[in-house]
Amino acid sequence: MTGTARDSILAALRAARPPAAPLPDAGPGIRYADPAAQFAEAVAAAGGACLRVPDLAAASAALPGLPCFRGASRIASLVPGLGAPNVDLSAIATPHGLEGIDVAILPGEIAVAENGAVWVEGDRLGPHRAIFVLPQHLVVVVPASGLVHEMHQAYQRLRFDPPRFGLFLAGPSKTADIEQVLVVGAHGARSATVLLVG
């Protein structure tokens, strides 16, 4: 197809596009009496675990007691000062270098009480976006100030200018087949623990 024909087809498609409609007002939405308790319940329902700690010092003290730390030999952390990491992520050039990491500690931004999801900002992962897929276990650290009741509130906090990568993470990797057999950890982390700090 020539450039002229292509341009005329694209111009016709743009001209036929309906005007953008504003998103409907979600109204007051869901409000929980205890959003932190609801969040912990939703994380557990998604196959993860949630632990509330008052500050990062308490989070650091709690890490060795987590089941995923028992027997963990390779630990990576993207949360400064947390987890006594022994994997230098800055020395890893490709995602293949992340293979064999037992525990990865990641920073979270927003925690959603409605479904137990945590927003992880891609900019904070550095060049290794695969860090939430390849390790055996994930620990996500999110401030209690980032706790919202529902996804509508979470989306209101997100900013994509300029466009960038990010994701909502809810529990460990899960997959199920037509026979309704649920397998945890088949395509990613076998466990996910959220530390709600503050």
Mean pLDDT of 86-99: 89
pLDDT in tens, 105-138: 999 999 999 999 999 998 888 788 889 888 999 9
Cα–Cα dist 183/195, whole Å: 24
Cα–Cα dist 97/91, whole Å: 9
Predicted confidence band of residue 183 (pLDDT cuts 50, 70, 90):
confident
Residue 95 or residue 23, greater confidence: 95
In the chain, the domains with their CATH numbers are 31-197 (3.40.50.10420)
User: 3-class SS at 165?
Assistant: coil
Predicted confidence band of residue 25 (pLDDT cuts 50, 70, 90):
low
Tell whether the model's pLDDT for residue 140 goes beyond 90.
yes
Cα–Cα dist 122/125, whole Å: 5
pLDDT at 66: 94
